[in-house]
Amino acid sequence: MSLDQIPRSAYTADHEAFRQTVRRFLQDEIEPNGAKWAEDGIVPKSVWPKAGALGMLCPTVPEEYGGLGLDFGYNAIVDEESAYNGRVATGFSLQSDIVVNYLVSYGSEEQKRTWLPKLVSGEVVTAIAMTEPGTGSDLQGMRTTAKKDGNHYVLNGSKTYITNGQNADLILVCCKTDTAIEPAWKGVSILLVEATREGFRRGRNLDKIGQDEADTSELFFDDVRVPITNCLGEEGKGFIYLMSELPQERLSIAVSAQASAQRAFDDTVAFTRERKAFGKPILDFQNTRFTLADLKTKLQVGWAHLDWALARHLRKELTPEEGAAAKLWHTELQWEVMDKCLQLHGGAGYMNEYAIARAWRGARVTRIFGGTNEIMKELIGRKL
């Protein structure tokens, strides 16, 4: 099965034509190399310009800055196909769905002209550094500081669990430019920090339980001098910018989770059809059929909801609590599908040589990153 066999309402014929291009790239360039990259703990930077040449990176960037000026539906196509066919955490979605929006929405003209063409082409890999060793979902509690010294900020602090941390050429660093102001969120700013700046260093490429190929890293900033002109937007507005962009980030996570769950389901149907026990295929047992029927129903509902959320977002109507709900629901569904599908694989499901085992490990983080699902419930609950 493939994703274009699922009836969809969010996409046009142009979106679906783009899907075929993305799928071929993933099948030719990404999927065959996944095991090697997982062993290496990193996706080589040489892959990024290849994706950029096909328009797979940051397709929403306006044409005047080297982009295609397309809608988020094209991002979602890349996310879906990457989760279904590539099944390798390349880091593309972080750049396309999250980082680039900050530059487009809040960057100065000079910042846009300097960086956006390079993000689109894949010449530059980016990261966004929010999480700190003692601060996860509580962004107001961050301790990384940037103090003014003439026409520079002096940046000090550390970040952890940073996606693209080893590969990144440019890091959007969330920090406190005012540590005294109350409430604390009014002191948060975002600085553009080039990886070549003195005092910046990369820590460990962290050892995770899943998504082994993703370079998730510690980053350290020791008296890093950053020009005042590298502040993104207005000083002290960083927290507002972060809150404004989170609905798209959470929708992106929901898209990938749904497609990942669909692939696990499809693989499990094929496995149970071939695998025999007590003289007949596992699929012929009522428990197997009932389990898969229940998952198929929930996946069907999931695609309908995802198209609703995508349509809302394309009309710029998706609210923060709707984005949170999408992330919550689709990642919870993903985990249910992964766990039940692994169970239907029996002992094989516990072996890393089977795709379901790697998918199960990789899925565990989706209820944590982008804001934990407990925080999603809190955000939704506040609007009741």
pLDDT at 18 over 80: yes
What is the percent of the chain where pLDDT is above 70?
99
pLDDT tens-digit map of 99-124: 999 999 999 999 999 999 999 999 99
State the pLDDT at residue 254: 98
Burial class from Cβ neighbours inside 10 Å (0-12, 13-18, 19+) for residue 307 reads middle
Token digits of residue 11: 């996409």
From 154, 192, 194, 198, select the one nearest 174 (Cα to Cα).
192
188-194/170-176 β-pairing: antiparallel
State the pLDDT at residue 2: 78
Q: Which residue segments constitute the domains of the chain, with CATH numbers given?
A: 3-124 (1.10.540.10), 127-236 (2.40.110.10), 240-382 (1.20.140.10)
User: What is the average pLDDT across 295-310?
Assistant: 98
Catalytic residues: 249
User: Phi and psi at residue 112, in whole multiples of 5°?
Assistant: -65, -45
pLDDT at 137 over 70: no
State the pLDDT at residue 272: 98
Cα 116 to Cα 134: distance, rounded to the nearest angstrom: 32
State the pLDDT at residue 328: 98
State the pLDDT at residue 287: 97
Q: Do the Cβ atoms of 140 and 239 come closer than 8 Å?
A: yes
State the pLDDT at residue 134: 79
Cα 239 to Cα 264: distance, rounded to the nearest angstrom: 37
The sign of the torsion formed by the CA atoms of 205, 211, 214, 219 equals negative
pLDDT at 14 over 90: yes
pLDDT at 136 over 70: no
pLDDT at 98 over 90: yes
State the pLDDT at residue 4: 81
pLDDT at 239 over 80: yes
The sign of the torsion formed by the CA atoms of 169, 55, 1, 308 equals positive
What is the percent of the chain where pLDDT is above 90?
94
